Every structure is written in C-alpha cells, then in structure tokens.
Amino acid sequence: MAIFLLMHTHPPLITQRPYTPLLRALRLLCALTALTSIPAQAAPKTRFDLEARFTQLDQNNDGAVTREEAGKAPWFDSLDLDHDGRITLEEARRALAALANKGSANTPSNASNPTLPASPNAAPPARKGPGILKPGDVGIGRRIDAPAFTDLAGSTNTLSQLMGPKGLVIAFTTTSCPVSKRYLPTIARLAPTLRDAGIALLLINPYTSEKPDVIRSTLEAAGLQAPCIHDRDGSLTRSLAARSTTEVLLLDPALTLRYRGAIDDQYGVDYNRDTPAENHLLNAIASLKEGIKPRIEATEAPGCELESTDPATPAAPGPTKVPVIASAPTFHRDIARILQQNCAECHHEGGLAPFALDTPEDVKDRAKAIRRVITAGTMPPWFAAPPAEGQPNPWANDCSLSARDKADLLAWINNSERPLGDPAHAPAPRSWARDAWSIGQPDLILQIPKPFAVKATGFLPYQSATVTTTLAEDRWVQAYEIRPTAREVVHHVIVRVDEKGINPARGGRSSAEGFWAAYVPGNTSHRYPEGFARKLPAGATVHFEIHYTPSGKATEDQLRMGLVFATTPPRYAVQTSSVANQRLSIPPGAAHHVETAERPAPTDLWVGAFLAHMHVRGTAFRYELVDKNDATTLLLDIPRYDFNWQLRYELREPLHIPRGTRLRITAAFDNSPANKANPDPSKTVRWGAQTTEEMMIGYIEHYTAIAPTPDQAHTAPTPTHTAPALSATAPPASPSTAARTP
C-alpha cells in the first residue's frame, strides 16, 4: 500500500531503471482504479477492489470494459490478453495473477483461449486428399447384393463364397489409370495385412478396353495374387455403384458395407505424398475388428472416373447413386441394417435411448412413432438446413437419413404386411458393452468428488463440481469421454479447465466463455484427428457444470471423464471460444423475438466445428460471416433448434475466417404460451444459467499451429476438425430487421 500511495504522490521516485519491472506491474495493478471515471486523486483513499472497479468502468453492464470505456488508457493493451478490444473481469484477474506470480507484465498462457499469432494475409489452400462423404448417401450400412462373376483364372464365384472369416475388401484397379497404377504397390503391401486379419481381397478391373494378358502381367509384376475380375460388361461395377478406378469397399461377413472410398490420402489426380496422413481403409478395418463404426466411413476416391449408375448424374462430386432394390424392403435385408446404421448406437438394450430397436417386434410396436419422427426429421437428430440444390454437403458428421433409407423405412412401415424376409440376409449382430469406454481405456479418469442426489420429479438447478489434477507436467489430450453413472438423468455437462493458481470463483467467469469438453445429447465423447489435441495444464483445475433432469425415479450420479493422451506432441492446439449475447431481454408473450451478436475476428482463424446453445425458448439459430463491405456469408443455419439435442456441427473442410471479418450469430426465441416447454410466458426473460432463464451462445471450435514455423503460418491444417475468446456481446438488433427464421 505504501508503494501504491507513493506512485500517486511522488512518481519520479520510482521511475529509475532498477524499479522498472515493479513499476510496470504496479501500473497494471492500479490500472482499473486510474480510469477517467475514477479520479486519480481519489485512488489513495479507495481500497483496491477489482470487482467493484470493474463494475464502475463497465458503463453498459455488458460484462466487459472496452477501450472507449477505459478512456483509451495506454495500459489497455496490456490487460487485453486476447487482443479483442475488450477486457473481461476474468481476463483482468488472469493478467494480475500473472503479475503476482512473475513480478512482471508478461502475458500468461491460457488453457482454453491462448492468444493466436496474427497472419493477416493467410488464405486457405486447396485441400489435398479425398473429401469425406455422407455415409448414408453411398450405401454405408446396406447389404451388398452382386451377381455371380468369373475371374481371370476361370473360377466362378459370388461375394459370399470369396468372403474371409472377418470380411472382404473389394479394390478397383486398372493398368492404365495413372492414379490406380500408383496404388498397385500399396494394395500389394496391404494383401498380407488383410490375410492376417482374416479379410479376403478381390480385385476388379472395370475397363472393357484393357487386355486380360496385360492385366495378368501387371498384377504379377506387382506381386498380387488375389482373384481379379475383368468386368467387361460392367454389371459388377454397376451393382457396386463404383465411381473411380481407385475405390475400395470393405464388407463384413454378412455382406454389409462398412467402408467405401480411398485406401488412404497418399495419391490423387494432381498430387503425390511421400507417406499417407490418413489410412482410411486400415482405420476402417481396425474399427470393424473392434465392432464400432470407423471415424470416417466414406470418402471420395481420387482416380479416373467411372460411369455412374445413373447416366444423368455426374461422377463427382455428388453422392453415389446406390442401386435401388426392385422388390419391397424386408426387415432382415434392409430395415435391420438401416436401424443398425442410424439408430442402434442409442436404441439398443441398455443404451442411452429409452427403448431398443433390435427386433422386428420392437419396431412394429413403435411403427407410428418412428413414422412421425422420421417424417418430421427429428430422428436421427440433425437440425442443420440441407445444402442448396447442387451444392456439396459441408458437414462431416451429418447423421440425417439418406433419401433412400428414409424411403425404404417408410415403405416398410406403411406396408400392412411388414415382411421379414430371409433371416439369412440379416446383418451381423452388434455387441454393446455398457461399461466399456468408447474411446478405449483412458490414461486418466477424473471423477467428481461425491455423488449428486437427483430426485424423482420436479426441477433441479444446475450443479457444479471441481476436480484438481495432480499432473506434474502439461499433457495433450487426444480424446475425451464423459460418463455419468446415471445416464438417464443427465441432460448435459460443460467442462472448463483453469490453469494452476487461477480461481474463477473469484473472477466472475462468464458462462458464455468457451468450454474445454462437453456432454450433450448426441455428443458424449470426441476423438481428435491425428496431430490435433487439447492442452491439459499441469496441476489444472477441472470444473464440471451439470444439468440434471429427473426421470421419475430418485437416483444418484457421480460422473467421470476419461482422457486419452496423445503419444506424440500435436501440431495443432484445439480450443473452443464463443460469440454470445448476455444482454437478452425477451418480452413476455413474444412468439418470435430475434436477437443478434457479432464480433470481429482478432486474428486469422481456422474453424472446424460449431455448437449452438440456447434454452427451451430458443427456436432457431444462425452463424454468418460479415466482411468489410457488409456482405454476409451463411455458415450454419439451424431453422428448428431443439434444446434436447445440442449437436456439434463438424465441417468437412477447415473454414478460414480472415482477421477483422465479423462473426455474427442470430437467434429466435418463442416466449409465448404456444411454446409448450415455456416455463413462464408472462415473464421478461433475461440471461441466466438455469433452464428457466435463457442463453444465446455460438460456440466455435478452432485450432492453431503450436509454435508455427514460417511455412506453417499461412497453411491450413488438412484434417476436417476445429479465436482468441470471441465471448463479447453486441447490442440486440431490432426484431424487425431480422428474417422470420434465422
């Protein structure tokens, strides 16, 4: 306090060089008392109370101090850790905590939102590698029925006869397509691996013009001894809906298609890599062995295009036209596979869903309910608006039913006979280990200290729990999974991480800030691509915010979070930030109230995913980019937001947001009596953590290179997944200026 007074009464006494670090620290410490709204001469008489000073400076009560509110003070940039033009209370506390720990004004690192290096002129390069396809559009999960065929050795077989004990890989290849020729050595190297895994290999040459002798000699020179079909009439190629000369298909023993696409990402029409970054086929085989879905189930297969099954459909980049079965769908051949591929992850005995869809009886009992939810598009849960006609689907995790799956399912339900078909055509049953971790055995398990009691009925406020880690060094997390012990009562969980020494309980951290991990309906675990990871600092404190919903039976829950650590240092750090509007004011009875918020990107951003969050009055949500000329680009449109399904929307390709571009969110709320979920339509609704209140947060998952080298600074990462904190708000827009459905 003596030095504090000395600074204001005799500043020249402590401006000599030996005292400069201390002076810088104390100037920052006093910064929030020295603003224009608090006379400097009053400072010696005023106890230093950061929160009180912050409240006085925050003139519009939006949870942040702007440069203008700070009177354009020279210390502003030192406290503005994320360089976004605003200082939150937590941000100020972090800066001051760093000063206390280090005795200088150095900016501390932040576990959730580290400051990113600026790269004002960065531009997204063309992606090199096969694009990801929507599995349902290319027949993933369907039974493959193909005619009998005769190979080059004169043997006649069927796919079932050639099937290995664990599966079958069908690989297209030619002697003339440059890309398929480059993949011949790769296939030859894969053959022993497939054989050891119990998976048979079948080669198909789809070119009528190529000569059998040349095909034989080419395969012999490559060391390939697998059966090869010269499909001169194209019947086998058409039945498999093949699209290129490098495509591979992975079938399980029940002839169910588990993977379709490229072997890996090493070769393309206009590129060659020394080694592949993604081994799609091998990853799919490993998943088949484990009885789980591959992380990537379908990709394009760069090579020479083949004729589509539908001549009017271009060979690329649209979805494959899977041949339609002429006969009526049957349960064993078609419906069981559709349900297994799209529904069984939750709807199995002991699963997350309230009932199973394992047997014909399960489905028949709920036929009308199934018809209702798939007609309305609420199941499987996916709420992003479909792409415009002729435009590619931008989402890597689109789980909506394909047009063919939806048509077949409705046709079977609407058929009064609901035929079962041949049991021999049924898919291989899947096993569901209730106690097993979907991410594999974790390297670290964090469990909340004591169970929470959840009553049978009524409403529960949000619960909070804290776990302090004992890690001696920073660790990079490759995958996480959050597992309640009573899943039926957990609606969602938000996890935040603070570095050792940071106490958010005294920092007024906003619930709009980016999270570290989340458990929400439809999104309970996540594994990052190779080379991507989240940082868990040494000695970090992990905070769990849990929303419980009584299920009719009193119970207890003591949830855990499992973490899998990266085995090698990642190239990219994954973070989550947000744009939010904490100044919500939704009038009583308003059936369509629109609010907006926007923030400029403080540096170039690479974005991989979005997650919108509102409560039960939220009806629609939209993300847009606004450039310097006020032109807007739609990023994500959720015309029917559903609080019960807060989904993560993962982009196929990383999105580049240039520095200074504004990221805008727009949301619509229904506070009328017609909203059956509305707790109280007579109430003016404002921001709050409880379900009876409201939120409006647009979460953004993004990534940045770790200690980027000069050649990385302007290069986007190629995997298809994840801003300093974009958590500031903008004044709400007038409802009349926004469209009816954002």
DSSP 8-state assignment for residue 85: S
Q: Which one has a higher pLDDT value, 636 or 122?
A: 636
pLDDT in tens, 132-172: 899 999 999 999 989 999 999 999 999 999 999 999 999 99
Residue-level pLDDT at 64: 79
Q: What is the mean pLDDT of residues 661-665?
A: 95
Residue-level pLDDT at 96: 64
Q: Which one has a higher pLDDT value, 558 or 104?
A: 558
Q: Is the peptide bond before 317 cis (omega within 30 degrees of 0)?
A: yes
Point out the least confidently predicted range of 93-107, 658-672, 724-738. 724-738
Put simply, whether the predicted model's pTM sits higher than 0.85 gets the answer: no
Residue reference for tokens 């590698």: 129
Burial of 341 (0-12, 13-18, 19+ CB in 10 A): buried
Confidence check: pLDDT of 310 > 60: no
pLDDT band at 424 (very low <50, low <70, confident <90, very high): very high
In angstroms, rounded to a whole number, what is the distance separating the alpha carbons of residues 636 and 624?
7
In angstroms, rounded to a whole number, what is the distance separating the alpha carbons of residues 522 and 346?
9
Q: Which residues contact 261 (CB under 8 A, 6 or more apart)?
A: 130, 133, 138, 247, 248, 280, 296, 298, 299, 300, 301
Tokens of 324: 């339609």
Domain with CATH 1.10.238 in the chain: 2-102
Q: Is the dihedral of CA 6, 7, 8, 10 positive or negative?
A: positive
Domain with CATH 2.60.120.230 in the chain: 437-570, 577-705+717-742
pLDDT in tens, 63-103: 778 877 777 776 676 677 666 678 887 777 666 665 544 43
Domain 437-570 indexed as CATH 2.60.120.230: yes
3-state secondary structure 560-575: EEEEEECCCCCCEEEE
pLDDT band at 607 (very low <50, low <70, confident <90, very high): very high
**Strands of 228-230's sheet, edge to edge?**
228-230, 199-205, 167-172, 248-251, 257-261
Residue-level pLDDT at 651: 93
In angstroms, rounded to a whole number, what is the distance separating the alpha carbons of residues 673 and 407?
36
Count of C-beta atoms within a 10 Å radius of residue 692: 16
Point out the least confidently predicted range of 48-57, 336-345, 546-555, 662-671. 48-57
In angstroms, rounded to a whole number, what is the distance separating the alpha carbons of residues 695 and 582?
7
CA neighbor of 444 nearest in space, from 465, 466, 471: 471
Q: Which residues contact 479 (CB under 8 A, 6 or more apart)?
A: 439, 440, 525, 526, 527, 528, 563, 564
135-141+143-290: CATH topology is Glutaredoxin (3.40.30)
pLDDT in tens, 434-471: 677 888 899 999 999 999 999 999 888 889 999 999 99
Give the chain's mean pLDDT: 80
Residue-level pLDDT at 511: 59
Side chain identity at residue 10, one-letter code? H
Residue-level pLDDT at 189: 95
- Which class does domain 577-705+717-742 fall in? mainly beta
**Helices in 343-439 by DSSP H: which ranges?**
360-365, 367-376, 403-414
pLDDT in tens, 270-307: 888 888 988 999 999 999 998 888 989 999 999 999 97
Q: Cα angle at 148 between 144 and 153, to 5 degrees?
A: 120
Residue-level pLDDT at 61: 67
Q: Are strands 199-205 and 228-230 parallel, antiparallel or unpaired?
A: parallel
Domain with CATH 3.40.30.10 in the chain: 135-141+143-290
Confidence check: pLDDT of 312 > 50: no
pLDDT in tens, 184-235: 999 999 999 999 999 999 999 999 999 999 999 999 999 999 999 999 999 9
Residue-level pLDDT at 106: 32
pLDDT in tens, 571-583: 899 999 899 999 9
Q: What is the mean pLDDT of residues 614-618?
A: 94
Tokens of 603: 């540096």
User: How far, CA to CA in Å, does 729 sit from each of 85, 89, 579, 615, 643?
Assistant: 12, 14, 7, 18, 22
Residue-level pLDDT at 481: 95
Kind plus residue range of the DSSP H or E element containing 618: strand 618-626
Q: Which one has a higher pLDDT value, 25 or 481?
A: 481
pLDDT in tens, 209-219: 999 999 999 99
Q: What percent of the chain is predicted at pLDDT more than 90?
A: 53
**Phi and psi, residue 610, nearest 5°:** -130, 155
Residue-level pLDDT at 121: 32
In angstroms, rounded to a whole number, what is the distance separating the alpha carbons of residues 49 and 54?
9
Confidence check: pLDDT of 712 > 50: no
One of 1.10.3470, 1.10.238, 1.10.10, 2.40.128 is the CATH number of 2-102, namely: 1.10.238
Confidence check: pLDDT of 49 > 60: no
- Quote the distance between the C-alpha of residue 144 and its chain's center: 30
**Per this entry, what is the length of the chain?**
742
Q: What is the mean pLDDT of residues 34-63?
A: 52
Residue-level pLDDT at 404: 92
**Phi and psi, residue 373, nearest 5°:** -75, -30
